Amino acid sequence: MINSSLLPLVSLFNYGSCNIEESIEEVTICLLSDSYKALVIGPFISTVNLINKRDQLLISFFIGDGDPKEFSTGSDASEFIKDVDRLNAIRQDEEIKVVIKIFKNQSEGIISVYDYAALLTFLEKLSIQAILLEFNRLIKKVNLLIFEHQSDEKVSKSKSIWFVNKDFSGQPDQIERNIFINKAKTSCHYNFLAEFVLVPQDFFLNIEACARLTLLFNRLAIINAIVFLFDITVINDSNLNYKINGYKSITGDTDLNDLPADQENQYFKIYDWVYDSGNFNDKIGLARNIISLHLDGKDKIELKGDPFQSIQSSYKVYEKQNIKQYVEIRNKISDQLLSFHDRANKIIETFASGFQKSALALITFYTSAIVLKILNKDKLIEVFTIDAALLSTGFILCSAGYFFLSKWEVNAQRKRFEQNYADIKKRYADLLDEQDIERILNNDNEFKNDLKFMIDKGRNYTLLWFYFLIILLIITWLSYFIYNSQLFIEMGSFFQYY
C-alpha cells in the first residue's frame, strides 16, 4: 500500500509495479510499466510542489536501456513533459521505468518522513551499531531530532526524538548530555563513549504509538542503559560483548537482534535512578551488585524478576546502615563550625586586648606624669616639658608600632581561618555529597558572618586605636606649646634683635 503523502506523486505515472524505499536521507521510488500515461502540466506542477520545501526532488524517466529524461526541483516542468512525450513517441515495445528520488535535508533538527513503514523497514535492517551511528550523527547537530510525517501518522515521542505530524507544536527537550556522559566515563568503559552523545533518554518513549517503533526504541533504550551501567561494553555490528562486576562477576557475548522487549523498563528505571542526584559511586556499585544476581543465564542480558525494586530495598538498608556514620560526620562538622566561631571571637579579642593594654599603658604614663607635676609644684603647669613631650611621643610611636604588629597578626590569622575552612570542605567532599555539605554548612552563612564580624570589629578597633593615639599626640604637643609660649616669644625677639 502506497503512503498517502507519495500517492499523488506516484499517480502521475502508470505503473505495473512500485517499489518504495526510504532511508533517513532519501526516498527512492521505482515504477515499472508497459504503457505510457501522458503528463499534464498543471497537475504535474501542483503535485511536485507537495514535496516539502526543505527537500529536493529528482524524477528520471527511462525507456528501455536509453538515457533518461530528468526533472529536478527548480527546473522547467513543461520542457520535461515535452521531452518525455517525444521519447515516448519513438518507443516501441520497451518497458518504461520511472525513478523518483527525494533528497531529505535536516533543518533545525527536522527531517521529513514520506513513508513511515518504509523508514522503519530501513532502520530494522541496519545493525545496532549502524542505527546508533545514524542517530548520533543527526542528534549531534542541534541536540534534538524531529521526524515530521508528511501524512497523518501516529505520534511517538521520547525526551529528545519526536515522530510527529506537520501541524506539531513545541519541540523536544535539550538534554544536558555531558552530565550523564561525564559520570559514565568515571566508572564505565564503552567503545563509543568518547564519540557518542547518545543517552538512554533519547530512546525511552513516553508517548508510544507504533508497535514497530516502540519495539525498536525499547531495544535501543535497553542497550544504551546497559552501556551506562555495566563495567565494560563493546558493540560490534549487532553483537554486544560485556562485563559486569557485582556480587557475581559476569562476562558474556550476545546478539542484540535477539534482545526481547523490556516491558517493565527495568534497565531504564535503574539507569535513571543511578544517574539522578545522590552519591553516584554508591548507587552504581549497588546497581551492579543487584543486576549481576538478576541476569537470566549465560550470554543473556535479560533481567529476571524485579531488580529495580530490589535495588530500592537494598538502598534503604544501605542508608540505614550508613545513617549513623552520616550523623556522626554531620555532628563533627557542626562541632568544627562552633570551633570556627570561637576562633573568630578569639582573633578579635586578642586584637582588642592589645588595644586595651596599649591604651592602659599610655593612660597610666600620662596620669603618672600629671600627678608627679602636681605633687612637685602643687599646681597643673608645665606638665609637658620638652623632655616629657619627646618621651610621650616615643611611647605613642611604640604603641603605633604595636598596633601595626597586632593588625598584621589579625590579618594573618584571618587568612589562615579562611584557608582552614576551605580545607574542611575539601576533606569531607570524599564522604558527603556536595549538596549535603552545602546544606550542613548552611551555604557558608555562618562562616561569612564570622568573617564579616572579624572585618567589622577589626575596622572599628583600628579607627579607635588610631584616634586615641592622634588625640594623645595632639594633647601632648599642644600642652607643651601652650605652657612654653613665653619661651617662643623671647626666642622670636632674640632673632629679631639680631
Domain segments of the chain: what residues? 7-104, 111-305, 321-497
Instruction: Give the Cα-Cα-Cα angle 157, 163, 168 (nearest 5 degrees).
Output: 95
Residue-wise pLDDT for 429-467, tens only, equals: 655 666 666 766 777 777 777 777 777 776 776 776 666
| Band of pLDDT at residue 343, cut at 50, 70 and 90 | low
Mean pLDDT, the chain, whole residue set: 82
CB 235 within 8 A of CB 128: yes
Helix (H) or strand (E) holding 437: helix 434-440
CA nearest to 416, candidates 357, 344, 352, 487: 344
CA nearest to 24, candidates 130, 99, 95: 130
Which is more confident, 420 or 87? 87
Residue type, 235: I
CA nearest to 3, candidates 29, 23, 41, 25: 29
| Band of pLDDT at residue 318, cut at 50, 70 and 90 | confident
pLDDT beyond 80 at 422: no
CB 221 within 8 A of CB 203: yes
CB 283 within 8 A of CB 274: yes
pLDDT beyond 70 at 365: no
pLDDT beyond 70 at 312: yes
CA nearest to 6, candidates 78, 55, 42: 55
pLDDT beyond 80 at 363: no
pTM beyond cutoff 0.95: no
What backbone phi and psi angles, to 5 degrees, belong to 237?
A: 60, -115
Residue-wise pLDDT for 473-486, tens only, equals: 776 677 666 666 55
DSSP bridge pairs for 245: 249
User: What is the SS3 assignment for 257?
Assistant: helix
